[in-house]
Amino acid sequence: MLVLRLLNVVAPAYFLCISLVTFVLQIFLFIPSMFRDPSTTPLFSPALLHGALFLFLSANALGNYVLVIQSSPEDLGKGLNLGEGAEVVVDWLDGSRSPGSALPSTHFCRLCARVTQRHDHHCFFTGNCIGSRNMRNFIMFCLYTSLACLDSLVAGMAYISAALSMSFANPLAFLTLLPHSISQFFSGALLSSEMFVILMLYLWLGIGLACAGFCCHQMLLILRGQTRYQVRKGMVVRARPWRENLQEVFGKRWLLGLLIPVLNVGNDYRRQKEK
């Protein structure tokens, strides 16, 4: 438990550090290197379009990251008024739900010390639980983080290609770039800044693919009306049309949330159904 609590503090700091490094490299290294002659650069040059795209992706990723933390799941256990020695409290602390509990699809998180509705999982990179209130923002955070990393990967490869006068037309060139660069770095033929960018290329590739895979897996669970916690515990859920499952998470204003970071409106559909 101590290791998990430490990871819950270190992981968000690691994400913010990587985000800051990526922003600095893009703004002060990659984008300026795309300008050959700034005085004659047209209005819609590739460098300006790339800079606008990166800022759009970064703003959405960081904006949804903040909203995931801000709209953390509500602690349903505060209104239970349970005694310290009650059996149901033991069930919550054990990570399971009492058979007679009046709160279905809930889970007690040891790290957050709260009972969350439609608990999916605990995200260490946000230091927060993911539930019904912030699921949409979490998916948008994963999506735009993946796109921002892949965008930085492409820009970094273009920079390295120009700096080292090499081509990535052959897919094997990227696979052999790291061991070849390490040997050149220790021989003094490669600058430390260029070696740092090469290491970041592989980091961006790993984070981008991981976030993209996680986002696709999460979307599949949403279409089926399930959460990761329900799948892990083998809970049976009521079958519903996939459109209702999507609307419950993304709401009717899904296009607005796709373009700009906004608070989760996924519960609007549920409230309309209850009325």
Alpha carbon distance 74, 157 (integer Å): 43
149 is catalytic: no
d(CA 94, CA 81): 18
Backbone angles phi and psi of 124, in degrees to 5:
-75, -30
Q: Distances in Å between the alpha carbon of 123 and those of 34, 120, 127, 129, 175?
A: 37, 9, 6, 6, 31
Say how far apart CA 153 and CA 160 lie, in whole Å: 10
Q: Are 25 and 200 in contact (CB under 8 A)?
A: yes
Catalytic one of 123, 129, 142, 149: 123
Taking phi over 0 as left and psi of -120 to 50 as alpha, with beta for the rest, 167 belongs to beta
Distance CA 119, CA 133 (A): 10
Q: Report the amino acid identity of residue 153.
A: L
Six-digit token string for 213: 């895979």
- Coil, helix or strand at residue 107: strand
Buried b vs exposed e over 146-168: b needs ≥16 C-beta within 10 Å? bbbbbbbbebbbbbbeebbeeee
Catalytic residues, which ones? 123
